[in-house]
Amino acid sequence: MVTKKALITGITGQDGSYLAEFLLSKGYEVHGIIRRASTFNTSRIDHIYSDPHEEGVRLKLHYGDLSDAETINNIVYNVRPDEIYNLGAQSHVRVSFDVPEYTTNVVATGTTRLLESIRRSGNHIRFYQASSSEMFGSASPPQSEGTPFAPRSPYACSKLYAYWLTKNYREGYNMFACNGILFNHESPRRGETFVTRKITRAVAAIAAKKQEHLYLGNLKARRDWGYAPEYVEVMWKMLQQERADDFVIGTGETHSVEEFVDEVFDYVGLKKDRYVRIDPKYFRPTEVEVLIADPLKSKEALGFEPRIKFRELAHIMVDADMRAAGLEPVGEGDRILEQRFPRRWWAVD
Ligand code: NAP
Ligand code: F7E
């Protein structure tokens, strides 16, 4: 029996695909907004998609774009969801320096369009905003809900606008609107140009003798990296609370890009010095040096305690990329998944 309806922007992304899978496993009817592209852009959700002509289909896709208010209004009006998860974004920090206006349009103004459309609909729709640890920028670590923001990129400034607007609509219009301030979270579905996935793919390609070098930027930057499936569960949890609120989500650990490189190369038994090169084109005009979550509030209020941390994450991602490259996985990552998630709701990649 269908219990609730959810609408997800960014359903074709890493988080959107896991969230859709999670909500379907909970019995939801899931609606997703996808963008028209000249090539297929639904590879992350193909395994949960069924022909809409079949009976009982609970995943429904709609063409739309966060830059297009008319379509957003129509979808919100016609679908009448109980919950909206706003995950759609130009989400690449480095790219936001190249396309700052576009990033603002989608990330900041796009959120305005969605919030306005909910307000005008007059319906009681619970709203989740994908806020980001990037908003903390140069603020001293560890960062919690009370840490003053100091954004360092067009992406972070746009996310901060959306964060404040979400709070404004909660306070001004009594809307159930939450900010999940998520620290970096990764998986085998992570976009190929984010640093963790770039590294795990490269190692698999090097092992398969299809790549000679891996070019990276700032190896000293430190991040709090968690595992994406655990993070989408907590998005849902935020919308099930009695009162709307904002939460920091992270592991409470920080590691450098260099440590990630070391972990991954050691795992497959390759010597990184032979393969890793620095290319300054990957440096950012302004860098975020250290992010580390203080996740106390989400632990106490939501019971959030991540089961996967840095080392396991690296192994899970390498095993998946080895498989994708046609190689035998090392196996530790696969074993961790089996042991820690015996009742997994997501398909292993
Ligand atoms: P992602 O893999 O880059 O996915 C972004 C999604 O947004 C894709 O479905 C993309 O569609 C869609 N999108 C891009 N431009 C759009 C537009 N103009 N209109 C509608 N949809 C658009 O990002 P993610 O890692 O899943 O992250 C999900 C959200 O959380 C994003 O808002 C991100 O900024 C935020 N966030 C991510 C992290 C993290 O570590 N992953 C941490 C904090 C916050 P296409 O597939 O067509 O490109
Ligand atoms: O960079 C450094 C880079 O692009 C991490 C997004 O999901 O998380 C993500 O943003 C670090 C940075 O992620 C390369 O300079 C070195 O310090 O993987 P990233 P990000 O910028 O932290 C936040 C929370 C979000 O909200 C975003 O949407 O790695 N780095 N060398 C590199 N980064 C990249 N991409 N490529 C390199 O070659």
* 170 is a domain residue: yes
Q: Is 155 a catalytic residue?
A: yes
Instruction: Give yes or no for a contact between 73 and 62, defined as CB atoms under 8 angstroms apart.
Output: no
Q: Is the CB of 218 under 6 A from ligand 2?
A: yes
Q: What is the pLDDT of residues 323-344, one digit of tens each?
A: 999 999 999 999 999 999 999 9
pLDDT band at 239 (very low <50, low <70, confident <90, very high): very high
Q: Is the CB of 200 under 6 A from ligand 2?
A: no
Catalytic one of 134, 186, 230, 312: 134
Q: Is the CB of 180 under 6 A from ligand 1?
A: no
Spatial distance between the Cα atoms of 341 and 337, rounded to a whole number of angstroms: 6
* 348 is a domain residue: no
Spatial distance between the Cα atoms of 210 and 335, rounded to a whole number of angstroms: 27
Query: Using CA positions, which residue lies closest to atom 10 of ligand 1?
Result: 10
Q: How many angstroms is it from 93 CA to the middle of ligand 2?
A: 7
- Please give the average per-residue pLDDT across 110-118, as a whole number: 98
* 113 is a domain residue: yes
Whichever domain contains 271, its CATH number is 3.90.25.10
Spatial distance between the Cα atoms of 23 and 81, rounded to a whole number of angstroms: 13
Q: How many angstroms is it from 37 CA to the middle of ligand 2?
A: 25
Q: Output the pLDDT for position 272.
A: 97
Cβ neighbours for 333, distance < 8 A, ≥ 6 positions apart: 312, 315, 316, 317, 318, 319, 320
Q: Does the structure show a pLDDT above 60 at 64?
A: yes
Q: What is the pLDDT of residues 291-308, one digit of tens each?
A: 999 999 999 999 999 999
- Ligand 2: atom nearest CA of 191 is 7
- Please give the average per-residue pLDDT across 65-88, as a whole number: 98
Q: What is the pLDDT of residues 252-286, one digit of tens each?
A: 999 999 999 999 999 999 999 999 999 999 999 99
- Please give the average per-residue pLDDT across 53-63, as a whole number: 96
Residues 13 and 89 in one domain: yes
- Please give the average per-residue pLDDT across 237-245, as a whole number: 98
Catalytic one of 17, 132, 187, 298: 132
Query: Using CA positions, which residue lies closest to atom 21 of ligand 2?
Result: 93
- Per the listing, tokens 């496993």 go with 25
Catalytic one of 155, 161, 163, 267: 155
pLDDT band at 319 (very low <50, low <70, confident <90, very high): very high
Instruction: Give yes or no for a contact between 295 and 249, defined as CB atoms under 8 angstroms apart.
Output: yes
Q: Is the CB of 191 under 6 A from ligand 2?
A: no
Residues 218 and 235 in one domain: no
- Please give the average per-residue pLDDT across 28-35, as a whole number: 98
Query: Using CA positions, which residue lies closest to atom 33 of ligand 2?
Result: 195
Q: Output the pLDDT for position 1.
A: 58
Whichever domain contains 25, its CATH number is 3.40.50.720
Query: Six-digit token pair at 77?
Result: 């009006």
What proportion of the chain, given as a percentage, has pLDDT over 90? Answer: 99
Q: How many angstroms is it from 198 CA to the middle of ligand 1?
A: 17
Residues 207 and 138 in one domain: no
Residues 238 and 336 in one domain: no
Q: What is the mean pLDDT of the chain?
A: 97
- Ligand 2: atom nearest CA of 219 is 16
Residues 178 and 235 in one domain: yes
Q: Is the dihedral of CA 105, 174, 75, 84 positive or negative?
A: positive
Q: Output the pLDDT for position 349.
A: 84
Tally the domains of the chain.
Answer: 2
Residue 210 structural domain? 191-223+254-290+311-340
Q: How many angstroms is it from 116 CA to the middle of ligand 1?
A: 20
Residues 70 and 145 in one domain: yes
pLDDT band at 3 (very low <50, low <70, confident <90, very high): confident
- Please give the average per-residue pLDDT across 32-56, as a whole number: 95
* 345 is a domain residue: no
Q: How many angstroms is it from 213 CA to the middle of ligand 2?
A: 19
Q: Is 17 a catalytic residue?
A: no
Amino acid at 157: C
Residues 83 and 213 in one domain: no
Residues 86 and 58 in one domain: yes
- Ligand 2: atom nearest CA of 279 is 38
Residues 331 and 284 in one domain: yes
Q: What is the pLDDT of residues 171-219, one digit of tens each?
A: 999 999 999 999 999 999 999 999 999 999 999 999 999 999 999 999 9
Residues 215 and 286 in one domain: yes
Residues 16 and 74 in one domain: yes
- Please give the average per-residue pLDDT across 29-44, as a whole number: 97
* 60 is a domain residue: yes
Q: What is the pLDDT of residues 125-164, one digit of tens each?
A: 999 999 999 999 999 999 999 999 999 999 999 999 999 9
User: Exposure string (b/e) for 157-182, b if CB count within 10 Å is 16 or more?
Assistant: bbbbbbbbbbbebbeeeebbbbbbbb
- Please give the average per-residue pLDDT across 32-58, as a whole number: 96
Q: Is the CB of 224 under 6 A from ligand 1?
A: no
What proportion of the chain, given as a percentage, has pLDDT over 70? Answer: 99
Residues 89 and 198 in one domain: no
Q: Output the pLDDT for position 96.
A: 98
